[in-house]
Structure 1
Amino acid sequence: MSKRTKIRFIINPTSGPKSRIDVPARIQELLDHARYSYDIVYTTHAGHAPELSHEAANAGVEVVVAVGGDGTVNEVARGLLNTEAALAILPRGSGNGLARHLEIPMGIEGALRILNQGHITTIDSGEINGHPFFTTAGIGFDAYISSVFAGNKKRGLQTYVELVMKEVRSFKHLPVKASINGNDLDTDCFVMAFANAAQYGNNAYIAPEADIQDGLLDVCLVRRLDLVKALNLSYCMLTKQLANADSAEYFKTEYVTVKTEEPMLYHADGDFMGKAQEFEVKMLPLSLKVLVP
């Protein structure tokens, strides 16, 4: 009999909207037990998942499954960077950006089917001021929304959209100095998004041409935003198109530096990281193994 692959499920019990699904029972029912031997562990606090995933990788676990949303996926993946263990995802959050980019089904049955039948590949990751990210990072309005969303008791897409609509008119662009591909930009910034994957989550495509294995960041710069530009950008994000040049500019690069006159908010994979006046954003090419369809 062939040796079974060791697999660990890391469950964030607080991720995403409330659900009556008994995840451990579904895992027991649907997992291919001829292929996998598994255990289940639970996170108890922020920053716990990287410890659990890195511990698993060091113990010879071959696949580590993040059961949660984008924040949980980020934490689990951080612990697996540059190891032999592969990340898998059972999406349980509100955005599920990396899972959607990798074409992982949103339902638990479909995601477990991919786990049973899928194969392992290697993808890039990014880093902003030392914080790893796997879908997007950014400064400006999207980071501001992340900071507000983090303190909101309500979760989900509707809450996120309501916050955007409420805050977009009052948020002000700020002057920044950026270096992209050796070219200096002295510009206003409403949003500067750094994309490894194509979307934030919920199929909102901030960088439709992003390739998660090309070793390049896709940078989307929105200098100023009025109603017309906001409508164009929103439509293009929802239809996976590049916005017109009046609304956004796009760059591909391995490395970006940004300096600001006053501290700006920033995020990594939708998690608010704080404020800074200098930003260094770079790629970590082919640094994470993932299980995909």
Structure 2
Amino acid sequence: MQKEPAQKLLFVINPVSGGKAKQDWEEFIRNYFRDQPHSMEFFLLTGNNDSASVAHYIQTIQPDKIVAVGGDGTVKLVAEIIKGTEMTMGILPAGSANGMARELGLPIDKEEALNVILNGERRPIDAIEVNGEEICIHLADMGLNAMLVKYFDDSPGRGMWGYGRSIFKMLWNKRIIKATIQTDEGVLRRNAYMIVLANARMYGTGVTINPKGAIDDGQFEIVIVRRLNFWAVLKVLMNHRNFPEEHVEIVSAKRLHLKAKHRGYFQVDGEYRGRLREVRARILPHCLYLMLPKTSDL
């Protein structure tokens, strides 16, 4: 039998993701690899200049694979560092929702996820460059959902109670976005409650916003939520249903310049970015290499 080649793995761990203590993840990973030929290095995120520190560590140890151990924020941090390179990223889901991992068809089980990192299929995926400053792997949006992200971040209560309160506050304070949307195909003028830049299909809650989306097709979708029925939206958000097709308009694009009449709440991959009037975006085809299940169908 051919001996499995040894791999050098760097695990970038968010010690507070999903409420897990950092010792849990380190101990589990070390035990998993106890009788295997692979070598491991660990980097624990501190929240203080993490991107520069991780980039320096990667350059120093030259790992074969960099593994993000955390939620969507940890995945995004590592992806920002290695985008546009030949480096390979693995994902060990350790967050609360793990929206990106679910979208990519990655197993949530820890041992199965590590098996994919070692023995899965290396595949390229796209990302959206947003305002020339960051990438969006998953979903970015202006309007209702970004407002919900902001309210939930500021909420004193977490869990379903905090989420429910944030939803009602968002619906109470909702407002229409009057926007001009310029793409590589032309110009749209729309009034909408939410405008989504979708590289993927669904939010971490399981709500599908872009049914035909593919994360490796060289384009993204602009999803315009033009109509809003209070009870319909409440059902979508509370019961993880999909937005009714008659409420949305979907346009494929490679570039976007969004100009709103008034500042709108804006988020990228679950991170609130403030109230903006303009957003520029462009697709970065196959800019990131991930380890994915061999049977995955993005």
TM-score of the alignment, normalized to the shorter chain, above 0.5: yes
Is residue 124–residue 288 contact of structure 1 (8 Å, CA) maintained in 2? yes
Q: Which residue of 129, 138, 163 maps to 1:135?
A: 138
Which residue identity is paired with 2:244?
Answer: A
| Residue in 2 that maps onto 1:172 | 175
Which residue identity is paired with 1:274?
Answer: G
Paired with 1:232 and 1:148, the residues of 2 have a C-alpha distance of 19
Shift of 1:166: 3.7
TM-score by length of structure 2 reads: 0.87
| Residue in 2 that maps onto 1:290 | 290
| Residue in 2 that maps onto 1:257 | 257
TM-score by length of structure 1 reads: 0.88
Which residue identity is paired with 2:245?
Answer: N
Q: Does 1:94 align with 2:96?
A: yes
Post-superposition Cα deviations, 1:185-212, rounded to whole Å, max 9, x if no partner, equal: 2221211111111122132221121111
Paired with 1:224 and 1:50, the residues of 2 have a C-alpha distance of 43
Relative to structure 1, the CA distance from residue 244 to residue 150 in structure 2 (aligned partners, 3 Å threshold; closer, same or farther) is same
| Residue in 2 that maps onto 1:39 | 41
Q: Does 1:244 align with 2:249?
A: no
Is residue 50–residue 75 contact of structure 1 (8 Å, CA) maintained in 2? no
Paired with 2:51 and 2:218, the residues of 1 have a C-alpha distance of 26
Paired with 1:126 and 1:156, the residues of 2 have a C-alpha distance of 30
Q: Which residue of 64, 67, 84 maps to 1:65?
A: 67
Which residue identity is paired with 1:69?
Answer: G
Shift of 1:82: 1.1
Q: How many residues align?
A: 290
Relative to structure 1, the CA distance from residue 232 to residue 160 in structure 2 (aligned partners, 3 Å threshold; closer, same or farther) is closer
Paired with 1:218 and 1:12, the residues of 2 have a C-alpha distance of 30
Structure 2 regions of 5+ residues with no counterpart? 294-298
Instruction: Using the TM superposition, name which of 83-92 and 278-287 deviates more.
Output: 83-92
Q: Percent identity?
A: 28
Post-superposition Cα deviations, 1:147-197, rounded to whole Å, max 9, x if no partner, equal: 223334555566435422442232111211112343322221211111111
Q: Does 1:106 align with 2:103?
A: no
SS in 2 for 1:160: helix
Paired with 1:233 and 1:201, the residues of 2 have a C-alpha distance of 13
Task: Name the Cα RMSD after superposition.
Answer: 2.6
Post-superposition Cα deviations, 1:68-104, rounded to whole Å, max 9, x if no partner, equal: 1111111111011011211111111122121111111
Which segments of structure 1 move beyond 6 Å, counting only runs of 4 or more? none
Is residue 50–residue 76 contact of structure 1 (8 Å, CA) maintained in 2? no
| Residue in 1 that maps onto 2:208 | 205
Structure 1 regions of 5+ residues with no counterpart? none
Is residue 95–residue 200 contact of structure 1 (8 Å, CA) maintained in 2? no
SS in 1 for 2:175: coil
Paired with 1:187 and 1:203, the residues of 2 have a C-alpha distance of 27
Shift of 1:142: 1.3
Paired with 2:155 and 2:251, the residues of 1 have a C-alpha distance of 33
Q: Does 1:184 align with 2:187?
A: yes
